[in-house]
Amino acid sequence: MTTKLPRRSLLAGLLVTGAAGCVGSGAMTAASARRKAPADPWQGVRDEFTLSPAWIHMTAFLLASHPRPVREAIERLRRELDENPVDALHAHEDLAPVREAAAAYMGAAAEEIALTDSTTMGLASLYLGLPLEAGDEVLTTEHDHYSTHESLRLAAERTGAVVRKIALYGRSSAATATEMAGAIEAALTPATRVVAITWVHSSSGVKTPVRAIAEVVARANQGRAPAKRVVCCVDGVHGFGVEDATMADLGCDFFAAGCHKWMFGPRGTGVLWGKRELWPMLRPSIPSFGRAAYEAWLRQRPPPPTTADMMSPGGFHSFEHRWALPAAFAFHRGIGKARVAARIHALNRQCKEGLKGMGHVTLHTPLDAALSAGIVCFEVAGMTPEAVVGRLRERRIIASTSPYATSYVRVAPSLLTSEADVEVVLRAIRALA
């Protein structure tokens, strides 16, 4: 499938003029701030989305709005499927173009990528597919998401392996890379088979030093027999579409991410990447509809060694979404991964520096760009996170609370927001004092 790049330069749309002004309260707050914003080369990118301009959308980490090229690809494919489902199915049956587009974005090989419907599906397929046994240990952290913890619990229940959860840091805002990698190193034992971590914690906004942790794991593997080696697995969803990193840069063994958050991919799409030589160790939980597995069944032969293709859950999917996924990777590559990362980090810095200066706010996300990405977590003295999110909604700002036992307010300055939007958000939080 070929993917068209945006019709005009994504950065060409200078649609707003004038100086940033003060913003009052009420329903027009977000819209009026946007109108008064200074000329902004990123407006062209924001114009690719049909997000309601009545709101400031500080939740790019939750569920994507589709940008124009993704919407158009989905519509084209939906029409094709509705006109003739069988011929459309055959025309797009080879998913190599989707995997190649993902591979080009991730700096990986297409054969190393399984297609999934979400981060959760990727993590569950991975953890339930690992050859764990009674007595094996899985090392994870207290900071990971429900999807990691529950996938590991289910895997442990079936195999008799033990899941151990450790803290990578005491205070998230003061976390350091050395401390986090050191915590993993100290917790590894001869029984450890898996290190399960998350690139960017949606509980605190902390970005973990995946490369340093992968190096700790690689050192632990020196001298271990292949069957006793530790695999380093990452929930990468909140760095994917934010950071300018390849799989080789990260150095981990497996990496799962949904494409329907920061990537702005079709809702219900995701990828699971793994090093080429490691796929045979996995056992699929859901039969793939890939050629090799199906052929073996047709010829009544045992299945071949597991590949990434065989770890792509089979059955029919919402195909117009899956086949349109290359458009999302092309959207990001059209802007440039380095530019996307620099933009998101600049807006997050602006947001965090603003919050840091407020006496009634406790910032839980590190200021350092090496230790944070696009999520900012904080608390407001004397208010529950839900109350803060409610007050922000009154100002037409959509924020969220982190769905963890200890919950914070979360905002995500992103490609969907401008400097002026971040200023409006900071003003609204300042007004809560």
Ligand X SMILES: Cc1ncc(COP(=O)(O)O)c(C=O)c1O
Residue 288 tokens read as 């793939």
Q: Starting at the earlier edge strand, list the strands of the sheet with 231-235.
A: 113-116, 270-274, 254-258, 231-235, 192-198, 137-141, 162-166
34 vs 260 by CB, closer to ligand X: 260
Quick one: three-class SS letters along 191-222?
A: CEEEEEEECECCCCCEECCHHHHHHHHHHHHC
- Per CB under 6 A, which of residues 296..335 are in contact with ligand X? none
Q: Which stretch binds ligand X (CB under 6 A): 16-24, 40-48, 112-120, 207-215?
A: 112-120
The yes or no reply on residue 207 touching ligand X (CB under 6 A) is: no
Radius of gyration of the chain (CA): 22
Judged by CB under 6 A, the residue of 3, 59, 120, 204 near ligand X is 120
Q: Measure the CA–CA gap between 102 and 106, rounded to whole angstroms.
A: 6
- Taking CB under 6 A as the criterion, the residue among 29, 119, 192, 312 binding ligand X is 119
For CA atoms 382, 387, 391, 392, the dihedral sign is positive
Whole-number minimum distance, CB 270 to ligand X, in Å? Answer: 6
Kindly state the smallest distance separating residue 254's Cβ from ligand X, in Å: 14
Site membership for ligand X, residue 243 (CB under 6 A):
no
Which residue shows structure tokens 């090989």? 109
Residue (28 or 63) nearer to ligand X, CB: 63
Closer residue to ligand X, CB minimum distance, 124 or 184: 124
Two structure tokens written together for 133? 């046994």
235 binds ligand X (CB under 6 A): yes
CB of 182 to ligand X, least distance (A): 22
Q: Which stretch binds ligand X (CB under 6 A): 26-34, 169-177, 233-241, 305-313?
A: 233-241
Which tokens is 52 given?
Answer: 């309601």
Q: Which is nearer to ligand X, 173 or 202 (CB)?
A: 202
Cβ of residue 376: shortest distance to ligand X, in angstroms?
14
42 or 254: whose CB is closer to ligand X?
254
By CB under 6 A, the residues from 267 to 296 that bind ligand X are: 270
Select from 9-17, 209-217, 235-243, 404-412 the region that touches ligand X (CB under 6 A). Answer: 235-243
Give the residue with the Cβ less far from ligand X, 108 or 257: 257
Asked if 80 touches ligand X (CB under 6 A), the answer is no
Is residue 208 a contact point for ligand X (CB under 6 A)?
A: no
Distance CA 75, CA 209 (A): 39
* Contacting residue, 147, 312, 348, 418, with ligand X by CB under 6 A: 147
Please report how close the Cβ of residue 257 comes to ligand X at its closest, in angstroms: 7
CB of 325 to ligand X, least distance (A): 13
Calpha distance 88→310 (Å, rounded): 22
Question: Residue 312 gets which letter from DSSP?
Answer: S
Residue nearest to ligand X (CB): 258
* 125 touching ligand X, by CB under 6 A: no
Q: How many residues belong to the chain?
A: 433
Which residues inside 360-389 make contact with ligand X, applying CB under 6 A?
none
Q: Which amino acid is at 51?
A: L
Cβ neighbours of 32 (radius 10 Å): 17
Q: Say how far apart CA 310 and CA 116 lie, in whole Å.
A: 11
Query: Does residue number 145 form part of the binding site for ligand X (CB under 6 A)?
Result: yes
Contacts 24+ apart (CB under 8 A), 2-5: 3/69, 3/73, 3/101, 3/326, 3/327, 3/329, 3/330, 4/69, 4/72, 4/327, 4/330, 5/69, 5/330, 5/334
How many residues at the interface with ligand X, by CB under 6 A?
12
Q: Which is nearer to ligand X, 237 or 355 (CB)?
A: 237
Contacts with ligand X by CB under 6 A lie at 118-120, 145, 147, 198, 202, 235, 237-238, 258, 270
